[in-house]
Chains A and B, each alone.
Chain A
Amino acid sequence: MKPHTLSVLVENRPGVLSRVTGLFSRRGFNIESLAVGTCEEPGMSRITIVVIGDDAKVEQVMKQLHKLIDVIKVSDLTENERVERELALIKVSAEPGTSRAEVMQIAQIFRAQIIDVGSKTVILEVTGDTDKIDALENLLRQFGVKELVRTGRIGILRGSKVVGSSK
């Protein structure tokens, strides 16, 4: 059982997300993370899904996904050299004085941007892989994380290989 990052190229049509996610729940998979957006091809979207499961079950779910008429291509990025990123926005308590300076110092180490400064809080924007964001979150807990918003993970293959539309 290990996490698999699936990149699913779909027709950008109403209901397509529900077809894709419905298939996962029907076959007993929990989706760990989900990200959807338009992509390089007009009329298509790319859905990036992280699931945990053994290889055979993931292969079965990929085949089932491929059967959906609105799905154009399904790839498991996990087998390849790839780059994966998530983005998080973190609203953290930072009273002017010592704690604010410390929060800003931690942000700098993690290359997080301060995108809003309030009287009692600051908002950090950070990108990176899951571990990096988890680490930042843990460090910020001591100051009081008021709210945390995370995107799903997205991924892309390294080098010139692509997950394209030639099915």
Chain B
Amino acid sequence: MKPGAKILVESLQREGTEIIFGYPGGVVLPIYDELYDSPLRHILVRHEQAAAHAADGYARASGRVGVCLATSGPGACNLVTGIATAYMDSAAIVAITGQVPTNLLGNDAFQESDITGITMPITKHNYLLKSAGDISRVIREAFYIAGTGRKGPVLIDIPKDVSTGLAEDTPLPEKVTLRGYNPTYKGHKRQIDKAVELIVHAERPLIYAGGGVIASDASHELVSLATLLGIPITTTLMGIGCIPCDHPLNLGMLGMHGTEYANFAVMESDLLLAIGARFDDRVTGKIDTFAPHAKIVHIDIDPAEIGKNKRIDVPIVGDVKAVLQDMLSGLKKNTAYEPWLKKIKHWRQHHPLRVKDDGRLHPQQIIRALSELVKGEAVIVSEVGQNQMWTAQHFCFRHPRTWITSGGLGTMGYGFPAAMGAHFARPDVPVFDIAGDGSIQMNIQEMGTVAANKIPVKVAILNNMYLGMVRQWQELFFDRRYSYTELPSVDFVKIANAYGIDGMRVDSPDEVLPALKASLDCDGPFVMDFRIEREENVFPMVPAGAAINEMIGGHPRS
């Protein structure tokens, strides 16, 4: 017989967990006592939200399941934003929370909150444990559910008497069987044949690739398919990295801040292959006008995504990697799309993304300088807003899982803690958090965590003393009435220094590269405060509710 807490820690190790991000408190004391002399590494964050984001960043950078741990009540509630972020982007995390003892459940006991009730709509599944004997089985199930099918967060709530209660740690079967959970991995043969048939007869095909390609580790298959046939690829924000940025078939991102040529291609294509993507409103703009001439093939592991927003001609439910492998076996080399590719090339030449070079400090230059410096061999995490869009547009990503960002929920404050998690997944490459001065202040307390643990995250703050994206909308759609979007100047280098972190302030373009190099030369964390043009906008831009070829800040249509 062993105490539940011991079974928990051993079960986590059995699932291959090497690191936990967490914050102790009353009812998780028995668990923390087991962690004290366990080989499992624990990183003490400064706010539980950061623990959830760090687990998420670890999961996305590694492809494995990330783990976070918090106490009951406020601790558990502080995880909520992180769990919702993971849910919206299908990131595999297991969140473990302490709970008041079972005899006090429902009594409004000290630090009690109904965290399984609260997280029901934002978890793939959750558990409230009642007995120590259930721990090993539930941990195994939780990892299985989080990390398979359409991935997502799973929460396990453990009352204090369950972690102190004694139980046999009975060995479990290797395979998990849940009668209510059987994801479909293999695509239906007849549907795949239909898709192949459409591809063969198309004149203007386009691949629209999303985060599902990355989650399924299918980048290789995707690029093979595209190259074999000569089909151009546009990616969603979450799909960035599935094809190298400078691949001739890569049109970059589509949608609200996509490239003009990607959006034009969508509007003129006659066959859209949506792969691991979900027709989000930031991608489609006005949904009725999206891809008006195209037949649509949709490959996704989640049947509920198919037909949710847009009518689909050929739905294929299955794992993207498996489906693409099957499709590849039915296809031969082809050059029929040359006229289409020529047209796209013309758009690309006449509608490139713009970078100003006028002696002032523009954020796009900073991102491009970083891109040229690290040459794709880094993990880039972003916050949310203009910083995120500039990075998505201008950084040249070469590998999947090197771009980590909060897409679905759009969580400001995600980047810094997620970058900490990403470092533990990829200690072999530098990890950058591209931030704004607004976002960084949402989880700035994590400077304490990176300093104490010497986590070498490089933070690049694109500081415009505004909540930049909101200000941009106010400028364009609210008559420049900057209602509560201006932020006073903050000396981020001094804040960093106070935590014992090195930093550098950058005011002009010629200081950019030296600062970036200094950050790489520094063994530990590093903070760069880039004082950018204050009213720089993210362009091109599709106004909310417009068709995606109606872009502001683009080039005149030739």
Do A and B make up one complex?
yes
A residues engaging B (CB < 8 A)? 10-11, 14-15, 18-19, 22-23, 26, 56, 59-60, 63-64, 66-72, 165, 167
Query: In the assembled complex, how far is the CB of residue B88 from the closest CB belonging to chain A, in whole angstroms?
Result: 14
Q: Is B484 close to A, CB under 8 A? A: no
* Given A60-B308, A67-B304: A26 and B121 interface contact (C-beta under 8 Å): yes
Apart from A14-B128, A67-B302: 17 A-B pairs, beta carbons within 8 A:
A11-B180, A15-B116, A23-B121, A26-B121, A59-B307, A60-B307, A64-B304, A67-B304, A68-B125, A68-B180, A69-B124, A69-B125, A69-B145, A69-B178, A69-B180, A70-B180, A167-B180
Task: Tell whether, in the assembled complex, residue A167 and residue B182 are in contact, meaning their CB atoms are under 8 Å apart.
Answer: yes
Q: Is B117 close to A, CB under 8 A? A: yes
Query: In the assembled complex, how far is the CB of residue B231 from the closest CB belonging to chain A, in whole angstroms?
Result: 29
Closest Cβ neighbor of A166 among chain B residues: B179
Task: Choose from B121, B178, B180, B303 the contact partner of A63 (Cβ within 8 Å).
Answer: B303
For B228, the chain A residues whose CB sits under 8 A away are: none
Query: In the assembled complex, how far is the CB of residue A71 from the closest CB belonging to chain B, in whole angstroms?
Result: 5
Give CA–CA (A66, B181) in the complex, Å. Answer: 9
Closest Cβ neighbor of A70 among chain B residues: B180
- B86-121 near A? 1/0 per residue, CB < 8 Å: 000000000000000000000000000000110011
A-B contact pairs, 13 of them (CB 8 A): A11-B179, A22-B120, A66-B303, A67-B304, A68-B180, A69-B180, A69-B181, A70-B125, A71-B180, A72-B179, A165-B179, A167-B180, A167-B182
Query: In the assembled complex, how far is the CB of residue A48 from the closest CB belonging to chain B, in whole angstroms?
Result: 18
Give CA–CA (A74, B541) in the complex, Å. Answer: 42
For A23, the chain B residues whose CB sits under 8 A away are: 121
Task: Tell whether, in the assembled complex, residue A63 and residue B304 are in contact, meaning their CB atoms are under 8 Å apart.
Answer: yes
Within 8 A of A (CB), among B351-373: none
Task: Choose from A14, A18, A66 the contact partner of B304 (Cβ within 8 Å).
Answer: A66
Query: In the assembled complex, how far is the CB of residue A70 from the closest CB belonging to chain B, in whole angstroms?
Result: 6
Task: Tell whether, in the assembled complex, residue A56 and residue B116 are in contact, meaning their CB atoms are under 8 Å apart.
Answer: no
Closest Cβ neighbor of B154 among chain A residues: A69
Task: Tell whether, in the assembled complex, residue B179 and residue A18 are in contact, meaning their CB atoms are under 8 Å apart.
Answer: no
Query: In the assembled complex, how far is the CB of residue A77 from the closest CB belonging to chain B, in whole angstroms?
Result: 20
Give CA–CA (A124, B303) in the complex, Å. Answer: 46
B residues engaging A (CB < 8 A)? 116-117, 120-121, 124-125, 128, 145, 178-182, 302-304, 307-308
Give the number of A-B contacts (CB < 8 Å): 43
Task: Tell whether, in the assembled complex, residue A15 and residue B180 are in contact, meaning their CB atoms are under 8 Å apart.
Answer: no
Task: Tell whether, in the assembled complex, residue A22 and residue B304 are in contact, meaning their CB atoms are under 8 Å apart.
Answer: no
Task: Tell whether, in the assembled complex, residue B178 and residue A15 are in contact, meaning their CB atoms are under 8 Å apart.
Answer: no
For A18, the chain B residues whose CB sits under 8 A away are: 117, 120
Task: Tell whether, in the assembled complex, residue B182 and residue A56 are in contact, meaning their CB atoms are under 8 Å apart.
Answer: no
* Given A19-B120, A165-B179: A56 and B304 interface contact (C-beta under 8 Å): no
6 closest cross-chain pairs (CB), A and B: A63-B304, A69-B125, A72-B180, A69-B181, A69-B180, A64-B304
For B178, the chain A residues whose CB sits under 8 A away are: 69
Task: Tell whether, in the assembled complex, residue A56 and residue B307 are in contact, meaning their CB atoms are under 8 Å apart.
Answer: yes
For B182, the chain A residues whose CB sits under 8 A away are: 167
Give CA–CA (A160, B120) in the complex, Å. Answer: 37
For B125, the chain A residues whose CB sits under 8 A away are: 68-70
Closest Cβ neighbor of B311 among chain A residues: A56
For B308, the chain A residues whose CB sits under 8 A away are: 60
Query: In the assembled complex, how far is the CB of residue A159 from the closest CB belonging to chain B, in whole angstroms?
Result: 25
Give CA–CA (A26, B307) in the complex, Å. Answer: 19
Give CA–CA (A60, B179) in the complex, Å. Answer: 21
Query: In the assembled complex, how far is the CB of residue B93 from the closest CB belonging to chain A, in whole angstroms?
Result: 16
Give CA–CA (A66, B303) in the complex, Å. Answer: 9
For A165, the chain B residues whose CB sits under 8 A away are: 179
Query: In the assembled complex, how far is the CB of residue B181 from the closest CB belonging to chain A, in whole angstroms?
Result: 5
For A64, the chain B residues whose CB sits under 8 A away are: 304
* Given A22-B121, A66-B303, A67-B302: A15 and B145 interface contact (C-beta under 8 Å): no
For A26, the chain B residues whose CB sits under 8 A away are: 121
Closest Cβ neighbor of A69 among chain B residues: B125
Closest Cβ neighbor of A9 among chain B residues: B180
Query: In the assembled complex, how far is the CB of residue B43 from the closest CB belonging to chain A, in whole angstroms?
Result: 29
Query: In the assembled complex, how far is the CB of residue A82 from the closest CB belonging to chain B, in whole angstroms?
Result: 24
Closest Cβ neighbor of B141 among chain A residues: A69
Query: In the assembled complex, how far is the CB of residue B223 from the closest CB belonging to chain A, in whole angstroms?
Result: 30
For A167, the chain B residues whose CB sits under 8 A away are: 179-180, 182
Give CA–CA (A15, B114) in the complex, Å. Answer: 12
- Identify which of A59, A64, A69 gathers the most chain B CB atoms within 10 Å of its CB: A69
For A19, the chain B residues whose CB sits under 8 A away are: 120
For A22, the chain B residues whose CB sits under 8 A away are: 120-121
For B302, the chain A residues whose CB sits under 8 A away are: 67
Give CA–CA (A88, B145) in the complex, Å. Answer: 42
Closest Cβ neighbor of B149 among chain A residues: A67
Query: In the assembled complex, how far is the CB of residue A141 from the closest CB belonging to chain B, in whole angstroms?
Result: 40
Give CA–CA (A81, B121) in the complex, Å. Answer: 34
Give CA–CA (A32, B470) in the complex, Å. Answer: 41
For A66, the chain B residues whose CB sits under 8 A away are: 303-304
Give CA–CA (A18, B119) in the complex, Å. Answer: 12
Give CA–CA (A108, B179) in the complex, Å. Answer: 46
Give CA–CA (A71, B182) in the complex, Å. Answer: 11
Give CA–CA (A14, B157) in the complex, Å. Answer: 14
Closest Cβ neighbor of A10 among chain B residues: B180
Give CA–CA (A85, B135) in the complex, Å. Answer: 42
For B128, the chain A residues whose CB sits under 8 A away are: 14-15
Give CA–CA (A165, B304) in the complex, Å. Answer: 20
For B116, the chain A residues whose CB sits under 8 A away are: 15
For A67, the chain B residues whose CB sits under 8 A away are: 302, 304
Give CA–CA (A59, B304) in the complex, Å. Answer: 9
Give CA–CA (A15, B304) in the complex, Å. Answer: 22
For B307, the chain A residues whose CB sits under 8 A away are: 56, 59-60
Query: In the assembled complex, how far is the CB of residue B95 from the closest CB belonging to chain A, in whole angstroms?
Result: 16
For A68, the chain B residues whose CB sits under 8 A away are: 125, 180
Task: Tell whether, in the assembled complex, residue A60 and residue B121 are in contact, meaning their CB atoms are under 8 Å apart.
Answer: no
For B304, the chain A residues whose CB sits under 8 A away are: 60, 63-64, 66-67
